[in-house]
Amino acid sequence: MHKIAVLPGDGIGPEVTAQAVRVLEAVGRRFNRKFQFAEGLVGGAALDRLGHPLPGETMDLCLASDAILFGAVGGPKWDQLPARLRPEAGGILALRKELGLFANLRPVKVFAPLKNATALKPEVVDGVDLLIVRELTGGLYFGRKAREPLAGGGFRVTDELVYTTAEIERIARVAFDLARKRRKKVTSVDKANVLESSRHWREVVTAVGQEYPDVVLEHMYVDNCAMQLVKNPRQFDVLVTENMFGDILSDQASALGGSLGLLASASIGGKTGLYEPGHGTAPELAGRQAANPVAAVLSGAMLLRYSLNLEEEAGCIERAVERVFERGFRTADLMEEGRELVDTVRMGDLIIEQIEAG
Ligand code: IPM
Ligand code: MN
């Protein structure tokens, strides 16, 4: 019996996680695995009901579970609140920090049937298979913040970018270990020509790299990396980078696959693994079953792989998704001429149909 905490959150979060849960149930039936799902409140939904974006009972649920399936949090309704109450800082960021989830894995693999669905030329994106390893509990997101009023008017505002040697070492190890199981190349992304933290990042990643003589290590400035990602994305295998660089580059990389609606993620390294789509709450799509649930469904596959060690089951979900695309079904974000438009629930149905077909 595997206990899975489900935290749907806000906006399209509940709609996409509902499909991910249905897909996991279908895989459970097919492979005879028992999953027990328990829902918890997080983000704006928790704030409205319980007065806090990360209530103690949700934290307890997460700690008592084998893995966490997360939707998305935030929305215009809560944007003006102080940081500790906002769904982002007080909800998901606090959850990542509390659980010690320092490694965020964001794979971008271009599905062959979608290579014409992207904004780039098909020959540029064809065959792309990269993995962004984003540091998740340090860096710009978690450094000291300040807003000091100035005598003459206005403010002096601060966001510190802080890393310790140990924090860089452990994320570098995650990247090298994963590269060993892939094409054995790590690109460490930094801004070492300007930032002190990046200079140390580069030193530490280089030192860790010596323990992995079988893995090729290269360093790249983040501005160049942004350009290389659209110019020649096939050069990348594993990228490892600071929290905010990883946030930005992963949204960009997701466009290679055709849509942010395909970007799955795993946040690991701490107490309980957390799995969430890389997209946000998309308030304009919420409540209409118009969102693409595939990022959430593929996050469910990562949950099986990384927290429950169910590789075959994970692969089954990934192949089912690809077959649905092969058959020509598309959610609105990926719609092209001659394809069949489907909504969130129908996309879930189609993926389940493939899983059941075997
Ligand atoms: C993501 C999101 C979050 C982040 C937000 C919602 C705080 O953009 O998971 O990429 O910046 O980490
Ligand atoms: Mn993001």
Mean pLDDT confidence for 282-288: 97
Look at residue 87 and tell me if it is in a domain.
yes
Best probe residue, ligand 1, of 93, 248, 251 (max atoms within 8 Å of C-beta):
93
**Separation of CA 349 from chain center:** 23
Q: Which two tokens mark 307? A: 């927290």
Residues 92 and 73: beta-carbon distance below 8 Å: yes
Q: Which two tokens mark 232? A: 């020649």
Domain boundary among 198, 231, 257: 257
- Residue ranges around ligand 1 (CB below 6 Å): 74, 88, 92-93, 247, 278, 280
121-166 pLDDT, tens per residue? 999 999 999 999 999 999 999 999 999 999 999 999 999 999 999 9
303 and 331 in a single domain? The answer is yes
Best probe residue, ligand 1, of 10, 140, 247, 263 (max atoms within 8 Å of C-beta):
247
pLDDT of residue 28: 98
160 and 66 in a single domain? The answer is no
Q: Is the pLDDT of residue 171 over 80?
A: yes
Per the annotation, the verdict on 251 as an active-site residue is yes
What is the percent of the chain where pLDDT is above 70?
Answer: 100
Look at residue 112 and tell me if it is in a domain.
no
250 and 312 in a single domain? The answer is no
213: Cβ contacts below 8 Å, ≥ 6 apart:
none
323 annotated as a binding-site residue: no
22: Cβ contacts below 8 Å, ≥ 6 apart:
348, 352
Ligand in closest contact with the CA of 243:
1
Domain boundary among 216, 231, 257: 257
Closest CA to 264 of 88, 120, 104, 98: 104
289 annotated as a binding-site residue: no
199 and 324 in a single domain? The answer is no
Q: Is the pLDDT of residue 59 over 90?
A: yes
204 and 245 in a single domain? The answer is yes
Strand partners of residue 69:
6, 275
Domain that holds residue 351: 1-101+264-358
Helix (H) or strand (E) segment spanning residue 124: helix 122-125
CA of 292 to the centre of ligand 2 (A): 16
Q: Is the pLDDT of residue 358 over 90?
A: no
Look at residue 113 and tell me if it is in a domain.
no
Mean pLDDT confidence for 93-114: 97
6: Cβ contacts below 8 Å, ≥ 6 apart:
17, 21, 37, 38, 39, 40, 68, 69
CA distances from 124 to 121, 185, 233 (A): 5, 20, 7
Q: Is the pLDDT of residue 18 over 80?
A: yes
245 and 128 in a single domain? The answer is yes
Look at residue 96 and tell me if it is in a domain.
yes
Residue 13, domain CATH:
3.40.718.10
Look at residue 250 and tell me if it is in a domain.
yes
Closest CA to 253 of 275, 272, 237, 229: 229
Look at residue 109 and tell me if it is in a domain.
no
Mean pLDDT confidence for 174-189: 98
pLDDT of residue 46: 98
237 and 253 in a single domain? The answer is yes
What is the percent of the chain where pLDDT is above 90?
Answer: 98
Closest residue to atom 1 of ligand 1, CA basis: 278
Mean pLDDT confidence for 49-65: 98
79 annotated as a binding-site residue: yes
**CA–CA separation, 219 vs 135, rounded Å?**
16
328 and 354 in a single domain? The answer is yes
Mean pLDDT computed over every residue of the chain = 97
pLDDT band of 264, cuts 50, 70, 90: very high
| Encoded amino acid at 113, one letter | P
Look at residue 111 and tell me if it is in a domain.
no
State the pairing for strand pair 2-9/35-39: parallel
Name the domain count of the chain. Answer: 2
Look at residue 200 and tell me if it is in a domain.
yes
State the pairing for strand pair 67-72/273-275: parallel
168 and 208 in a single domain? The answer is yes
75-100 pLDDT, tens per residue? 999 999 999 999 999 999 999 999 99
pLDDT of residue 299: 98
